[in-house]
């Protein structure tokens, strides 16, 4: 129940009405860590929410992206994946498994910001940096680790 209340508060703070489809879709994204597609979200929620169609899921996702509550993550296959983690972070995308993993590295983002400061790019202010690294797992059965 705590996550549902958190989701309702997020919707309210973003100026959105806390409709049942919005609550259910955003809740699914908040508890997910695998950057699901709209189809996967629909598959996960449809048993308990048969009245929510795939089209509704797509519409809710668009509203949530526009409100800044979630972000789209593009992958090479062209499918759109979604992420409720709005803190600054990057993504590692495995081309073999189609899995996306979050990574955090303040030092890397500071290096990128410093690069732009040194280049003295005029009339442009960086608001955010989105970094996605595409690659392949060396051992497909092992987890990706960042040290």
Residue pLDDT, tens place only, 59-112: 999 999 999 999 999 887 778 999 999 988 888 888 888 888 888 888 888 898
> pLDDT category, 147, cuts 50, 70, 90?
low
More confident residue, 99 or 8: 8
Same fold, 1-85 and 87-147: no
Would you say domain 87-147 falls under CATH 3.30.450.70?
A: no
Query: Which residues, in sequence order, are CB contacts of 134 under 8 Å at separation 6+?
Result: 76, 93, 95
pTM above 0.75, yes or no: yes
Domain boundaries, the chain: 1-85, 87-147
The CATH class of the 1-85 domain is: mainly alpha
Query: Which class for 2: exposed (0-12), middle (13-18), buried (19 or more C-beta within 10 A)?
Result: exposed
């Amino acid at each position: 129940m705590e996550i549902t209340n958190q989701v309702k508060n997020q919707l309210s703070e973003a100026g959105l009405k806390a409709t049942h489809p919005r609550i259910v879709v955003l809740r699914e994204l908040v508890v997910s860590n695998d950057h699901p597609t709209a189809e996967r979200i629909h598959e996960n929620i449809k048993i308990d929410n048969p009245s929510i169609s795939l089209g509704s899921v797509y519409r809710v996702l668009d509203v949530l992206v526009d409100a800044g509550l979630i972000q789209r993550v593009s992958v090479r296959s062209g499918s759109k994946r979604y992420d409720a983690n709005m803190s600054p972070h990057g993504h590692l995308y495995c081309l073999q498994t189609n899995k996306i993993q979050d990574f955090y590295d303040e030092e890397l983002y500071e290096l990128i910001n410093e690069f732009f400061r040194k280049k003295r790019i005029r009339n442009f202010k960086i608001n955010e940096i989105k970094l996605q690294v595409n690659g392949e797992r060396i051992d497909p059965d092992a987890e990706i680790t960042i040290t």
